Amino acid sequence: MGMIANAYELIIYILEFFGVYGPIKNIFQVLGIEFVLKIIIVLVEVGILFVFVLLTVMFLTWMERKVVAMVQARYGPMVTGPRGLLQPVMDGVKLIGKEDIIPEKADRWIFTLAPFIVFIPALLVFIPIPFGQSLIISDLRVGLLYIIAISAVSPVAILLAGWASNNKYSLMGAMRAVAQDISYTIPLALAAIAIVLFTGSLSTVDIVNAQSGTWFGIIPKWFIFLQPLGFILFLIASIAEMGRIPFDFQESESELVAGFFTEYSGMKFAMFFLAEYAHLFAVSGIVVTLFLGGWSFPILPFVPPMLVPLVSLGVFLVKTYAVIFFAMWLRDTVPRMRIDQLLNLGWKIMVPLALLNLLLAGFLITVWGAF
Amino acid sequence: METDELIVNMGPVHPSTHGVLRFRLRMDGEIIKECTPVLGYLHRGTEKLGEMKTYLQFIPYTDRLDYVSAFPYNYAFVKAVEELAGIEVPLRAEYIRVITMELNRIVNHLVSIGSLLMDLGASTMMLWGFRERENALQLFEKLCGARMTFNYIKPGGVREDIPEGFIPQLNEFLKDMEKRIEDYEQLINSNEIFLMRMKNIGVISAEEAINYGMTGPTLRGSGVNYDLRKYEPYSIYRDLDFRACVRNEGDSYARYLVRIDEMKESLHILRQVVDTMPEAKIVSSAKYGIAPMTGAPSAVSTYFPRIFAPPAGEVYSRIEAPKGELGFYIISDGTTKPYRVKIRSPSFCNLTAIPKMVQGLKIPDLIAAFGTIDVVLGDVDR
Amino acid sequence: MNPAEELKQKLPAAVVSTGMQVNKPMAVIKTEELLNAARKVKEMGFDHLSVITGTDYNDHFEVVYNFFSYNNKQNLVLKVIADHDKPEVDSLTSLWKGADWLERETYDLVGIRFNGHPNLVRILLAEGWMGHPLQKDYDMMRRK
Amino acid sequence: MAWISKNWTMSGIIKGLIVTLKHVLHIGNRPTVTVQYPYERMKLSPRFRGLHAVDENACIGCGICEVNCPNGTIRIVKHNTRWYPQVNIGMCLFCGICVDVCPMNAMKMTGNYELADYTRESLIYGPDRLLFNKEVKQ
């Protein structure tokens, strides 16, 4: 199992296991279009990923409501499906059925384009995330850089959306989102670089592998124990990146009505909404990958090799949902900060702390190396 | 770089203007250079209505001024009428009135704090506040059949005696509420983000607060130790032991803390009232009374008159409503309808100070400061 | 000592008469002397302007000011009589900022003009509204 | 920096998190207080002021309720051979003054609060929908 690096190889392995890969490959070879088979397999794996992500996102919207409801002594959605589980489907149906309004004074093209520019990176960011052993679309050698780079696209789209709406609230929301994203990507990246110092690789798989195993047989070798400060900084920065309370300035509904998507309705609104939750899932997954050991878990070596992808996927999801739950829990507890306070926090506190953390990491590695 | 001023119309339909208030903001980026409240979107001409209705008919309209805390509005109007006509009120009725008003103060502060935190983005407090409010509303419903617009306090007494099972339920509420207030304090009082948002925001000094005519918790948050219940006692407040809750900082956080303290004080008052309530079942004075109805299915006792005309004169009577000083100025010409009703509503006068409070701050601060002023637009626009 | 009497002693020229409004001391002030009297009232410690009421009595307007002193815990009522055809009194905004909106409201609903008010425009009713609803001859049936 | 040195423990937020977690885990709290409205309803108090009801035998059609109604909601109309009140729910304040002033104690208010309707006309409740017969009910 160890040789299977990514989902592409896993699909081929499964097909071979059932003995169908050879004949199929032969057919394509005879036709001389072997590359089509590759494309088909890639499309299948990407399709599975996207379906999985979209289902997760739908589930997350339900979960968000349920967690809020539990905190607030309510039921939350209860009518559609068992305990309201189908509520996201109904919401989707409703949003599709809604009129798609484009304001008269809006910049039509940019207004229409912006939701897509938000939505697509939100899905693309999943490509180098290892959901489990060999459950990764592509183990990019610059995986971490790719993630940070792709996340940096969404503020552009938000600015486009806010500007194109031709609404003052939208514009202010967009400006805030950009200011916030820029000032938080830096501590986020700095905290991630400390991890890279430890692993010596930007590849997410390498990062996860570096965290498998234990110290003294009890404590898992997760980076959270080596980098507690880095973890806290990364978590705060990623909540800010997600744009959730206490850092949800881009929409801050009590100040800016709905921020950059004030003017959006129908399916375009749904795309912002989905992108938000996809982002939540992705960022939580990244937190897990970098600091909580990804899919690795001390019991994993004792699992039969056939089941490792499944079990590791389970481990990864449990950890990710724990982070997501924390984000939701935090959202129900704290009020929103003010934008200038957030920027103060970002530049004056988190960036110096992240640099300090980097220094600590370097020191630790040097000391470690000396032994 | 050349920049332009941004004129933002916040409202009349906006999530955090608590109704249909509009702020015309002249802004430099995110900084408010000038804030002009624009009122009148909910103006219903209540003062003119008062000239058209009889004294009894006007009481339901007072409910609809501040729909969050309607009992004090009932009472303020009725108190003015009683002063005008010189009506004696039975002691038990006064006790019931104080129960309703103090419960309503708790309800009002729950809504106020809840909506403040909702505006700050913490929806949990809002829902928790409404959870406890619901219990109080059920008490109101039990008492007078309505949850928000009561029409319960009448000249010379109250509409009905308290029903069976009301006092035990009230005691339960008081016990529950104590624990809940602890929860709230634990949830928000020391929350760092909350403190960052509230401290030194919307500061108004004691002199300015007085000069602007601010009253109630907003005034006491600025360090003026003044509570009409204490220093111009009406009803049975003279006999009760409580204190006026004062904070000296004058910022949003102080105003918030005053509200929390007032809830505790109200619980304290309610406990005393329940303990010392007279047993005599007289809830309406019979000065203008007609004979009680016989064979009434419910306890609807109609001691108060159908035709009621106080002597000519004028009166300005004020009480400490949850939001501040609430006054009714009634001029009677001896007929069954008031000649003029003027409502001195606390929200309206407190709102006067908002342009001063928020100048140079940012939109989120406007929301925080505005939330701690606690206005209800029905009360502002009348 | 009754603050209304005190005011009369201090400003005999301004006070027309003194009396009681239920249990609050009241002084009727000459219209043109209002600002002086108000200044004196503020010096006497009445720092809280509780309410401004305007009333239409068909032949004249009355403007009533209710004051309160936080230090002395005293009430004082000032009453000013304004001409019905040209209801004008002095504005107290220079002394109490809280008077600003109360005067605007009185102007809006009762139609009394306050001289020296910085921004005497309608506050509750829409701009361009005709008439003042709390005047007794206001035609309620006319469409605005 | 002064702020962080004072608040680096974030104790306030942690306290808040504990309170909310207690609610999630239902420690010392009732799990839910809301009701699933159309399926279950809250218990109304007997004094609840909802839709009016008029005792067919007691009402004398005197019109005192009509005169005393603050909003002009009630009109006395002819029903069969006698005069009964007709209530326009769309204008009603549900203040209960009509109940208080009724000299025959014929007017009362029921617990019916689901009064939404499709037309304004159907909000006018004539005697045919308001009358109840005491003898029949008891």
Pairing of strands B313-321, B157-158: unpaired
**Cis omega before residue B12 (within 30°)?**
yes
Q: Which residue has the higher pLDDT, D2 or B48?
A: B48
Cα separations (Å) of C144 from A113, A280, C126? Answer: 47, 54, 10
Q: What type of residue sits at position A86?
A: L
Q: Residue A156's closest CA among A127, A133, A185?
A: A185
A349 touches chain B (CB under 8 A): no
Average pLDDT for residues D94-104, to the nearest whole number? 80
Q: Give me the residue label for tokens 């309607």.
A: B70
The CATH number corresponding to B6-286+298-381 among 1.10.10.10, 1.10.3720.10, 1.10.645.10, 1.20.1260.10 equals 1.10.645.10
Euclidean distance between CA atoms C38 and B382, whole angstroms = 28
3-state SS class at B296: coil
Task: Determine the pLDDT at residue B216.
Answer: 85
Q: Cβ–Cβ of B40/C124 closer than 8 Å?
A: yes
Number of other CB atoms surrounding residue A97 within 10 Å? 9
Long-range own/partner contacts, residues B254-258 (CB < 8 A, 24 or more apart): B254/B221, B254/B222, B255/B217, B255/B218, B255/B221, B255/B372, B255/B373, B256/B113, B256/B116, B256/B198, B256/B372, B257/B189, B257/B221, B258/B217, B258/B220, B258/B221
**For the CA atoms of chain C, what is the radius of gyration?**
15
Q: Give me the residue label for tokens 């014929």.
A: D106
Is A2 within the bounds of a domain?
no
Tell me B291's DSSP state: P
Q: Cβ–Cβ of B192/D15 closer than 8 Å?
A: no
Output the CA angle B62-B63-B66, nearest 5 degrees. Answer: 95
Does the pLDDT of residue D73 top 70, yes or no? yes
3-state SS class at B120: coil
Average pLDDT for residues A350-357, to the nearest whole number? 87
Q: Cβ–Cβ of C73/B231 closer than 8 Å?
A: yes
The ipTM value here is: 0.84
- Chain A residue at shortest CA distance from B192: A334
Taking only the tens place, the pLDDT of each residue in B150-197 is 888 887 777 777 788 888 888 888 888 888 888 888 888 888 888 888
Is A266 within the bounds of a domain?
yes
Is A312 within the bounds of a domain?
yes
Q: Which chains touch D (3 or more CB pairs under 8 A)?
A: A, B
Report yes or no: A58 and A88 within 8 Å, Cβ to Cβ: yes
- Chain D residue at shortest CA distance from B159: D100
Q: Cβ–Cβ of D19/A74 closer than 8 Å?
A: no
Taking only the tens place, the pLDDT of each residue in C34-72 is 888 888 888 888 888 888 888 888 888 888 888 888 888
Strands (E), chain A: 214-215, 219-220
Q: Please, which residues have CB within 8 angstroms of residue A132's CB and are 6 or more apart in sequence?
A: A295, A308, A309, A310, A311, A312, A313, A314, A315, A316
Average pLDDT, chain D: 80
Shortest alpha-carbon distance between residue A72 and chain D (Å): 7
Euclidean distance between CA atoms B118 and B110, whole angstroms = 12
Q: How far is CA B75 from the centre of its chain?
A: 11
Taking only the tens place, the pLDDT of each residue in A207-246 is 887 777 777 767 777 877 778 888 888 888 888 887 787 8
Full domain range(s) for residue A134: 97-370
Q: What are the boundaries of each domain within chain C? A: 3-84
Concatenating the DSSP letter of every residue in C87-112 gives: -EEE--TTT-TTHHHHHHHHHHHH--
pLDDT less than 50: residues of chain C: none
pLDDT less than 70: residues of chain B: 1-2, 280-306
Pairing of strands C48-56, C24-29: unpaired
Q: Count CA within 13 A, CB hemisphere, residue A38.
A: 5
Q: Residue B72's closest CA among B40, B105, B48, B46?
A: B105
Is A8 within the bounds of a domain?
no
Q: Give me the residue label for tokens 């909106």.
A: C101
Q: Which residue has the higher pLDDT, B319 or A257?
A: B319
Q: Residue C39's closest CA among C91, C85, C79, C81?
A: C91
Q: What type of residue sits at position C70?
A: Y
Average pLDDT for residues A25-34, to the nearest whole number? 80
Euclidean distance between CA atoms B311 and B288, whole angstroms = 13
Cα separations (Å) of C133 from A173, B79, B340, C109? Answer: 42, 26, 12, 5
Average pLDDT, chain A: 82
Taking only the tens place, the pLDDT of each residue in B210-256 is 888 888 888 888 888 888 888 888 888 888 888 888 888 888 888 88
Work out how many domains chain A is built from and give that number: 1
Q: Cβ–Cβ of B45/C47 closer than 8 Å?
A: no
Average pLDDT for residues A254-262, to the nearest whole number? 75
Structure-token pair, residue B16: 């955090």
Euclidean distance between CA atoms A217 and B368, whole angstroms = 52
3-state SS class at B87: coil
Of D13, D46, D95, the CB nearest to B60: D95
Q: Residue A87's closest CA among A123, A63, A53?
A: A63
Euclidean distance between CA atoms D77 and D86, whole angstroms = 6
**Cis omega before residue A246 (within 30°)?**
yes
Residues of B in contact with A339 (CB under 8 A): 30, 362, 364
Q: Count CA within 13 A, CB hemisphere, residue B128.
A: 30
Task: Determine the pLDDT at residue B306.
Answer: 63
Q: Residue A170's closest CA among A272, A278, A96, A61?
A: A272
**Residue in B7, B21, B127, B372 to test binding to A, most A beta-carbons within 10 Å:** B127
Task: Determine the pLDDT at residue C10.
Answer: 75
Structure-token pair, residue A135: 């459950």
Q: Which CATH superfamily is domain C3-84 in?
A: NADH:ubiquinone oxidoreductase Nqo5 subunit (3.30.460.80)
Is A71 within the bounds of a domain?
no
- B25-54 burial code (b ≥16 CB/10 A, e <16): bebeebebeebebbbbbbbebbbbbbbebb
Cα separations (Å) of B293 from A73, B180, B290, B299, C84? Answer: 45, 43, 9, 10, 48
Cα separations (Å) of B337 from A178, B302, B310, B312? Answer: 61, 20, 9, 11
Euclidean distance between CA atoms D19 and D29, whole angstroms = 11
Q: Cβ–Cβ of B193/A257 closer than 8 Å?
A: no
Cα separations (Å) of A279 from A4, A16, A111? Answer: 28, 35, 21
Q: Which chains touch A (3 or more CB pairs under 8 A)?
A: B, D
Structure-token pair, residue D24: 């999630």
Euclidean distance between CA atoms C67 and D126, whole angstroms = 52
Length of chain D: 138
Cα separations (Å) of C117 from B67, C97, C100, C120? Answer: 32, 11, 7, 6
Task: Determine the pLDDT at residue B289.
Answer: 43
Q: Please, which residues have CB within 8 angstroms of residue A317's CB and are 6 or more apart in sequence?
A: A131
Q: Cβ–Cβ of A334/B131 closer than 8 Å?
A: no
Task: Determine the pLDDT at residue A371.
Answer: 58
- C133-143 burial code (b ≥16 CB/10 A, e <16): bbbeebeeeee
Does the pLDDT of residue A354 top 50, yes or no? yes
